[in-house]
Structures are given as structure tokens and as C-alpha cells.
């Protein structure tokens, strides 16, 4: 009881800060709510799904939504409701992994490159700009095709596409802060490079990184779905919303709309959740028009 109240009193101030900030604040709240509920749903799915999502023939094939199967069944007789409840896990894994890769690779390179400057910086920038200019989906598909299937490979291909975004935002911050009077002052009294990097620059860059990361999550989910759609996703056995979309395509001409609709809506919701957080955060962090 005590910890509950303690948690609530600590959460509430944060909540009121957000609600008082107009549309942007609400976007963050709604986004967080959506993302958290989906994550929780996926986590507890093994316990709440009525059937084993991979089990075949639990019901009549291609049956439209009804009382027994609220989301219908697909052409292999699998229960769509169970598949919807459990299908987010791969996407969430891929998204989290790819963001982790980006953070561990993109941010340090960005920090180092822009801080050190010189030809290292020029070279890194050129490489990153080239990757950035390349069509993301094409790059992800190509790398994924070369690496093969699997969660880690998907995450890697997506990460390569988004590392330049992290690099750029970190770099632009570092370049600005590097020349600000208080940084120059610190250097003049002999502060070491890594002190400056971590105590002066990093704290300022973090909000922007968070902003990029949330958008990255959303894009990762959409790209993961896309990769699955062109056949580069994961193997059939694991329930996955992207897979259901690809698979259910064949059922469309016969009018079996339910197989793709529900998983599709889930993907939209998850991507939407992250996008709302990202949009809201970026407006909160760069408040535009006050007076």
C-alpha cells in the first residue's frame, strides 16, 4: 500500500507536467499508454491467449469472426485472436535490438568523430551521409538478404539504416557545444577530453537522442514488417503480425478480410504509439511558439 501511494505521488507530478502542455503533452501520454499496453499484452500473452497460436486446426478453416473465435481463423485453422495477442514479440525484439545497436554504435562514433574533428570527422561524415542518402528500405532489404533471416539479422539491417541519424544529431550538438564559451573555458583550465565529452556534451545531447530513438522504434517496427512482407523475416513457427499480413494476402480475393486486418491494426497501433511519443517529445523539447 505504501509503495503504491509512493509510486503514485511520484508519477503524478510528471503527469501534470505533461497534461499542462497542450497537444504535445497529450500525444506523449497517449503514445506511452498505447506502447505500454501492447508490451504488457505481449508479455502476458502466453497466459491469456485462449489457444496455442501456432497450433493448427483448432477450429474450422477460414472462419470469419464469431463468438468462439472473435477474430476468426486463418487458412491453417489457427486462432487469430491468439496470434494477435502473441504476435508482437518478434517486432518488439527487433525494434529494441536495433535501437540498442544504434545507440552503441552510432552515438559513440558521432561523439568521437565530431569531437576529434579533422580528417576522421570528414571521412565519417562522408560515409554516414552516403548511407543516409540511400533509400532506407532498399538498404535494409539488401543487407537482410545478405545476412539471412532471424531477429538479430533483421535488427542489424535496420540499425545500419538508422545509425546515420544518430550520428548526425550527436555531431550537430557536439559541434555547437564544443565552441560555446563554457566548454572553451573548461578546456583552458585543463579539463581532459573525456571529461568534457561526458560531463558537458553528453547531458545536452541526451534529449535529442531520446527523440531520435523513439522515432527509430516506430520506423524499426514498420521496416521489420516490410522485411517480413518481402520474405526476409523470421521462420513460420513463431507468431508474428508481419507474417500474418504476408500470409493472409492469399486469402483476400476470397473476401477473408479478418486475417490481415487485426494483425495490421496492431502494427499500426504500435508504430503509432512510438510516433506519438516521438512527435510529442520533440515538440516539448523544442518548444516553438509561445508568445
Interface pick for other proteins out of 6, 40, 129, 180 (rule CB under 8 A): 129
Q: Provide the 3-class DSSP secondary structure of residue 79.
A: strand
Residue 6 engages other proteins in binding (rule: CB under 8 A): no
Q: Is 117 in the site for other proteins (CB under 8 A)?
A: no
Kindly state whether residue 287 participates in binding other proteins, applying the rule CB under 8 A: no
Give me the helix-helix angle, 136-147 and 202-229, nearest 10°.
Answer: 70
Q: Is 95 a residue that touches other proteins (CB under 8 A)?
A: no
Contact indicator for 85, 142 with CB cutoff of 8 Å: no
Rounded Cα–Cα distance for residues 285 and 107 (Å): 19
Sign of the dihedral defined by the CA atoms of residues 127, 130, 136, 139, in that order: negative
Query: Nearer Cβ to other proteins, position 163 or 271?
Result: 271
Residues 254-283 that bind other proteins (CB under 8 A): 255, 257, 260-261, 264, 267-268, 271-272, 275-276, 279
- Min dist CB 8 to other proteins, Å, is 27
Instruction: Find the binder of other proteins among 105, 112, 131, 202 (CB under 8 A).
Output: 131
Measure the CA dihedral 169/153/276/203, to 10°: -30
Residue 155 engages other proteins in binding (rule: CB under 8 A): no
The DSSP result for 94-160, as a single string, is HHHHHHHHHHHHHHHHHHHHHHH-HHHHHHHHHHHHHHHHS-HHHHHHHHHHHH-SSHHHHHHHHHH
Binding other proteins (rule: CB under 8 A), the pick from 2, 4, 13, 133 is 133
Identify which range of 97-105, 107-115, 175-183, 251-259 contacts other proteins by CB under 8 A: 251-259
Distance of alpha carbon 92 from alpha carbon 102, whole angstroms: 15
Radius of gyration of the chain (CA): 23
Which residues contact other proteins by CB under 8 A?
Answer: 23, 126-127, 129-131, 133-138, 141-143, 145-147, 218, 222, 225-226, 229-232, 245, 249, 252-253, 255, 257, 260-261, 264, 267-268, 271-272, 275-276, 279, 288-289, 291
Amino acid at each position: 500500500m505504501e509503495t503504491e501511494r509512493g509510486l503514485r505521488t511520484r508519477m503524478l507530478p510528471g503527469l501534470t507536467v505533461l497534461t499542462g502542455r497542450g497537444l504535445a503533452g497529450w500525444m506523449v501520454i497517449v503514445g506511452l499508454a498505447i506502447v505500454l499496453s501492447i508490451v504488457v499484452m505481449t508479455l502476458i500473452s502466453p497466459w491469456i491467449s485462449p489457444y496455442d497460436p501456432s497450433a493448427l486446426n483448432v477450429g474450422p478453416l477460414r472462419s470469419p469472426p464469431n463468438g468462439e473465435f472473435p477474430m476468426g481463423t486463418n487458412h491453417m485453422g489457427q486462432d487469430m485472436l491468439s496470434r494477435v495477442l502473441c504476435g508482437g514479440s518478434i517486432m518488439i525484439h527487433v525494434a529494441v535490438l536495433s535501437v540498442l545497436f544504434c545507440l552503441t554504435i552510432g552515438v559513440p562514433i558521432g561523439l568521437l568523430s565530431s569531437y576529434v574533428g579533422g580528417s576522421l570527422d570528414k571521412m565519417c561524415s562522408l560515409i554516414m551521409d552516403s548511407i543516409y542518402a540511400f533509400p532506407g528500405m532498399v538498404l535494409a532489404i539488401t543487407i537482410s538478404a545478405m545476412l539471412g533471416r532471424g531477429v538479430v539479422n533483421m535488427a542489424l539491417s535496420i540499425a545500419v539504416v538508422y545509425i546515420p541519424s544518430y550520428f548526425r544529431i550527436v555531431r550537430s550538438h557536439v559541434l555547437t557545444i564544443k565552441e560555446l564559451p563554457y566548454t572553451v573555458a573548461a578546456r583552458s583550465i585543463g579539463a581532459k577530453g573525456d571529461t568534457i565529452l561526458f560531463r558537458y556534451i553528453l547531458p545536452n545531447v541526451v534529449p535529442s537522442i531520446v527523440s531520435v530513438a523513439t522515432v527509430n522504434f516506430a520506423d524499426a517496427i514498420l521496416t521489420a514488417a516490410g522485411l517480413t512482407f518481402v520474405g526476409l523475416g523470421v521462420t513460420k513457427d513463431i507468431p508474428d503480425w508481419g507474417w500474418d499480413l504476408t500470409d493472409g494476402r492469399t486469402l483476400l480475393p476470397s473476401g477473408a478480410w479478418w486475417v490481415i486486418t487485426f494483425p495490421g491494426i496492431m502494427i499500426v497501433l504500435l508504430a503509432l504509439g512510438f510516433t506519438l511519443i516521438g512527435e510529442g517529445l520533440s515538440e516539448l523539447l523544442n518548444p516553438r511558439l509561445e508568445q
